[in-house]
Structure 1
Amino acid sequence: MAKNEQSKKRKRQKKNRKPTHQNEAKRKGLDITSGKGVVDHDPSSAKRRKLQEPSKASSFLDKMRERLSGGHFRMINEKLYTCSGEEALNYFQEDPSLFELYHAGYKMQMSQWPEQPVNVIINWLKKQSPSLVVADFGCGDALIAKSMKNKVFSLDLVSKDPEVIACDMANAPLSTSSVDVSVFCLSLMGTNYSSYLEEAYRVLKPGGWLLIAEVKSRFDPNTGGAEPENFSAAICELGFQSVKQDFSNKVFILFYFKKKDKQNSRRKEIEWPLLKPCLYKRR
């Protein structure tokens, strides 16, 4: 009889016993070893989690900075296509930081292209003699010079690199008939682009190469661009022979010319076609 009373008493105590944190968690089907479903009342832990989670405000600011940067790039880009080379040179000399801002935006735009025209030009140059001297007009980050064993004169409006020559491309500090290849890779910007090509002709040796890569939309007559044949004809009037036009890429066109051995002394006034500015849409 006493044993039965003791057994009933133990059962009543077990039933009234307060569940521990672990037992309660198990009863609710929670995994306390992984932390799933466990409420952590430690304020320091909550603070740590908050710091680790990305802030919505910082994410918003990053997007705003990107938009502002893109807006500045479009503004500078439009300026370069609608002013002369001399005006562009003065523009960047007044505030060289604008040049860095422009090239940061330029790289972002180029990263969306399936193929880079500068890489096509580099591959072509690597198949030529390493003794050829190259003039890279509007070199940007001077990738051609960094990729080649050849002697390369890198020319641009602003220079923070001792290997890049800062100048107006209409007045390159290079000797007449001193280079074998002149390159314009997406750099025929400005209202006086023809003067850049005349300068490229001057510095080239007879038989030297002129390579031009430009955005395809600039040569689409249906949208206000120049007729490619008219552009090519004007360069031939300058004293070049057209060797090849490569339209295979969806984004850009490549023109290959060679400087004629003899200059036409009776060269008539050249009618240069208006190249459509490459302007990016505001978002």
Structure 2
Amino acid sequence: KLTPLQQKMMAKLTGSRFRWINEQLYTISSDEALKLVESQPSLFDEYHDGFRSQVQSWPENPVDVFVNQIKERAQRPVNAPGGLPGHKDKKVVVADMGCGEAQLALDVEKFLKQVKTKKGAKKFTKNLDIEVHSFDLKKGNERITVADIRNVPLEDNSCNIVIFCLALMGTNFLDFITEAYRILAPRGELWIAEIKSRFGEKDGKGDEFVETLKLMGFFHKKTDDDNKMFTRFEFFKPPPDILAERRAKLERKQKFVEQEDDKERLEKKRQKVPEGKWLLKPCIYKRR
């Protein structure tokens, strides 16, 4: 058994190791991160052990917020106003990108089991069919599929919700957003939670971040910055009719060309300096 002094020393060593791994993951590209974890698999476990102890001191874990959102919206029929987005057969497919230990998939699975046997639960809630795909750099358990999240093994338009819960970590994180757009079905939703200190603005609202995602084709639904640690964003992928309508509107205002120029400028800026250097700052934890 360790003495109190040894325990203190061990905690300090573990903390500095976590900070080092964390810094690596935020300051290299996603393909380099995958190679790093493949060459040293223990890094993934060490990182998540450290991350778990960080989150314990937070008033709220963003994973729990997303799970509660799924539970609340499951009280209405799929594709109804206020309900979860789903396919025509009412199946809801979720991709949890950079899932960590795939807690979201586990909690959703538990919820579905509970609701099927719950007395008084609405029929559509009992019949709810949610499939969660969880992706990360290492297969920490059977729920996880190993992938670089800029290129996941899912078909185009196959998902209804894509989630990034503190997962925009590589220097090339806008590639993850492009991948989210590819796998989302029209009217599918993009849910993001990010640490407030990563945003350049003092209020942590991430206005530049929102504008960038709009340039990439997403429509912004809402920003929730009530939590003192992180900001949550909701976007959706517009269906073709809304896209055509918007394009016509911009053309009438002669702003369509301006928007295309902005997209081009964004790509040129990314080629010169990766977005991990200017759009979202790396999340570097302080020494305790």
Tell me the distance in 2 between the aligned counterparts of 1:78 and 1:217: 15
Q: CA contact under 8 A between 2:199 and 2:279: conserved in structure 1?
A: no
Q: After superposition, where does 1:1-283 map in structure 2 within 5 Å?
A: 58-126=3-71, 127-128=73-74, 129=78, 131-148=91-108, 149=112, 150-222=130-202, 228-262=206-240, 267=260, 268-269=263-264, 271=266, 273-283=278-288
Q: Where does the alignment leave 5 or more consecutive residues of structure 2 unmatched?
A: 79-83, 85-90, 113-129, 248-256, 267-274
TM-score normalised per structure 1? 0.75
Q: CA contact under 8 A between 2:31 and 2:148: conserved in structure 1?
A: yes
The alignment-based identity, stated in percent, is 42
Structure 2 counterpart SS, 1:172: coil
Structure 2 counterpart SS, 1:133: strand
Structure 2 counterpart SS, 1:208: strand
Tell me the distance in 1 between the aligned counterparts of 2:265 and 2:97: 22
Tell me the distance in 2 between the aligned counterparts of 1:134 and 1:216: 25
Tell me the distance in 2 between the aligned counterparts of 1:116 and 1:220: 22
Tell me the distance in 2 between the aligned counterparts of 1:172 and 1:278: 24
Tell me the distance in 2 between the aligned counterparts of 1:269 and 1:189: 24
Larger radius of gyration: 1
Q: Where does the alignment leave 5 or more consecutive residues of structure 1 unmatched?
A: 1-54
CA apart distance, 1:160: 2.8
Tell me the distance in 1 between the aligned counterparts of 2:191 and 2:39: 31
Tell me the distance in 1 between the aligned counterparts of 2:210 and 2:22: 25
Partner amino acid, structure 2, of 1:207: R
Structure 2 counterpart SS, 1:256: strand
Partner amino acid, structure 2, of 1:261: P
Q: CA contact under 8 A between 1:181 and 1:209: conserved in structure 2?
A: yes
Match of 1:38 in 2: none
CA apart distance, 1:141: 1.2
Q: CA contact under 8 A between 1:212 and 1:256: conserved in structure 2?
A: yes
Tell me the distance in 1 between the aligned counterparts of 2:198 and 2:211: 16
Higher normalized contact order (CA 8 Å, seq sep 6+, divided by chain length): 2
Tell me the distance in 2 between the aligned counterparts of 1:153 and 1:62: 38
CA apart distance, 1:274: 1.9
CA apart distance, 1:270: 5.9
Q: CA contact under 8 A between 2:214 and 2:220: conserved in structure 1?
A: yes
TM-score normalised per structure 2? 0.74
Query: Cα–Cα, structure 1 residues 116 and 163, in superposed 2: closer, same or farther, change >3 Å?
Result: same
Deviations 1:17-53 (A, max 9, x none): xxxxxxxxxxxxxxxxxxxxxxxxxxxxxxxxxxxxx
Tell me the distance in 1 between the aligned counterparts of 2:264 and 2:68: 35
Deviations 1:88-135 (A, max 9, x none): 000000011111000000000000000111111111112244731100
Tell me the distance in 2 between the aligned counterparts of 1:240 and 1:125: 21
Structure 2 counterpart SS, 1:151: strand
Tell me the distance in 2 between the aligned counterparts of 1:221 and 1:254: 15
Partner amino acid, structure 2, of 1:196: F
Structure 2 counterpart SS, 1:155: strand
Tell me the distance in 1 between the aligned counterparts of 2:35 and 2:23: 16
Q: Number of aligned residue pairs: give it.
A: 226
Tell me the distance in 2 between the aligned counterparts of 1:160 and 1:101: 12
Deviations 1:213-255 (A, max 9, x none): 00011124249x8x71211111111111100000111111000
Tell me the distance in 2 between the aligned counterparts of 1:189 and 1:84: 8
Q: CA contact under 8 A between 1:238 and 1:270: conserved in structure 2?
A: no
Structure 2 counterpart SS, 1:120: helix
Tell me the distance in 2 between the aligned counterparts of 1:96 and 1:270: 38
